[in-house]
Structure 1
């Protein structure tokens, strides 16, 4: 599902570029259409394999390593609802209400399970921040685009509280036990960039793109976190390509989206060129990901040992988290 989420994130970056540097809106539409198609196909497969049973959903939410991954479903839905609002505001608001409520239920259920010992001995990693921090920030950003300022303020407060609380726990666990994190799970470290990026987008959306001291504060957090990720690149590198590589996609897209908005707000000299350069780099990275994914899928269908390879990837934290 991270393929759909990353594609929606790239569509959001193009949407910001359309609003700031007059990028063609059709590109954003195309990426959101592709994301929606992937979302529908993957959700249908999940439901076909028993995901529609309430007991199976609860079992998935209780999974100590992958329970947070269900939050991908409503997050993609909220992002898509925010994009289509320019065509049908009322319909987008109803869709947003459904997905935001679903995201809230998933986050609350996960937290209730986690605080009662549900995580057990599972190593904490930044992926756990997705449903309880990033989802509220994304909900806030979309609510601002849908002209629902009260909802935007409420969900932003939820994101801030649990970023400070749960984010501290996750970071402390990484400092204390990061060395014991399995290699396949290390790409989730890049998810550290999502909370400041989505939080910054939520704040700038609520203030109509005007940068104030808080907006610059979020920018500082994004830049510093990207610097940390740069030093972590040797640690997150994998021996061979697998679908788990898509865990990198949304952090890159969300960071690019915020920085495009930030560049427009600073109005510094050459900001348009910097925005186009940033967008080009992210698009090139996504192009490589799409190409590698298609090649990998073809190899799995035609190469030897494809069943064993598929089984190995299904048990890979970074792969199934995405």
Structure 2
């Protein structure tokens, strides 16, 4: 008589709780994987350039893979147990673009896995690439139809096609297919240049960005340094003018965002601040790769500082995220009074 309660009793609150957590997991949380994997790549580059311990980079990649696996599981549960929440996210003019990060994060995790298990890394990269390409084509087609509120034009528009293409280029080159990577690099480069003017026009002439959306400006930093990493990957890595130009533009973005930091900080401690992580780690990675390939110019001075800054940023974001988890705010249902987690 007691076996049924012993087996079934504890299970009853688990499914509702899992559904609640999954339903309140936005696709934007995949940005955490981008930051962690980006830091893993920076440490791999640092091991190459400065003979720093390679195990640190591999440990960070393992952490990125663990976070990715949890988020994939939660998002799968969300699709099954809370399809209404998923449908609302897909229909949202800002949040929908973050869905593309699921494929980008998958490709980055594949990049961490590839040196240790090339076959598994190739399979995982292929799955991420197919999802990224499919979502980018679908989302871009929707954008071309028009009918958008200009206030929804934010840096998240870079995510489906720009971020996806540059990461695809880097991953393809790492797996031994630089010629395919060059095609992806071209897709990302010209998509970025086309969208950049649209986004700057919105920032310069539109209404002030709402407080809850200001952390998304961190994405503005990412295209140039992520493009630099992709360019070095598909082009052999030699220091040249285009590589330096991309890093120079990224440094300008850093200075502008630093000037805006008090204005952005009004959003408070929110997971959306991970938007700064991928650009910051990519900037460090690109600079260190150039040093590793014999760059003897300004980057000899800048690369160590950028590496320290990237590590400090990720540690700070990790501490903030743990605090949000422990306080129960990471997966709490958003209210009208709470800031948007995107």
Relative to the length of structure 1, the TM-score reads 0.87
Aligned-pair CA distance for 1:271: 5.9
Q: Does the alignment pair 1:70 with 2:99? A: yes
| Residue number in structure 1 paired with 2:200 | 171
**Structure 2 unaligned spans of 5+:** 1-28
Written as runs of structure 1 = structure 2, the 5 A alignment for 1:196-211 is: 196-211=224-239
Given that 1:187 and 1:236 are in contact with CA atoms closer than 8 Å, whether structure 2 keeps it comes out as yes
**3-state DSSP class of the match of 1:218?**
helix
Aligned-pair CA distance for 1:184: 1.4
Q: Which has the larger radius of gyration?
A: 2
Aligned-pair CA distance for 1:288: 2.1
Given that 2:211 and 2:267 are in contact with CA atoms closer than 8 Å, whether structure 1 keeps it comes out as no
CA distance in 2, matches of 1:225, 1:199: 14
> Which of 276, 279, 285 is the equivalent residue of 1:251?
279
**3-state DSSP class of the match of 1:117?**
coil
Given that 1:136 and 1:155 are in contact with CA atoms closer than 8 Å, whether structure 2 keeps it comes out as yes
| Residue number in structure 1 paired with 2:7 | none
Name the Cα RMSD after superposition: 2.7
| Residue number in structure 2 paired with 1:4 | 33
| Residue number in structure 2 paired with 1:15 | 44
Give the number of equivalent residue pairs.
Answer: 313
| Residue number in structure 2 paired with 1:311 | 334
CA displacement, residues 112-165 of structure 1 (integer Å, 9 cap, x when unaligned): 111113634542111211111121011101111111022101101110121122
**Structure 1 unaligned spans of 5+:** none
Written as runs of structure 1 = structure 2, the 5 A alignment for 1:1-322 is: 1=29, 2-50=31-79, 60-117=89-146, 119-177=148-206, 179-238=207-266, 240-265=268-293, 267-268=295-296, 275-300=303-328, 310-312=333-335, 316-317=339-340, 319-320=341-342
Relative to the length of structure 2, the TM-score reads 0.82
CA distance in 1, matches of 2:327, 2:258: 31
Structure 1 264/187 Cα, relative in aligned 2: closer, same or farther at 3 Å? same
CA distance in 2, matches of 1:273, 1:249: 21
CA distance in 2, matches of 1:43, 1:148: 27
Aligned-pair CA distance for 1:102: 0.8
Q: Which moved more, 1:11-20 or 1:196-205?
A: 11-20
CA distance in 2, matches of 1:183, 1:34: 31
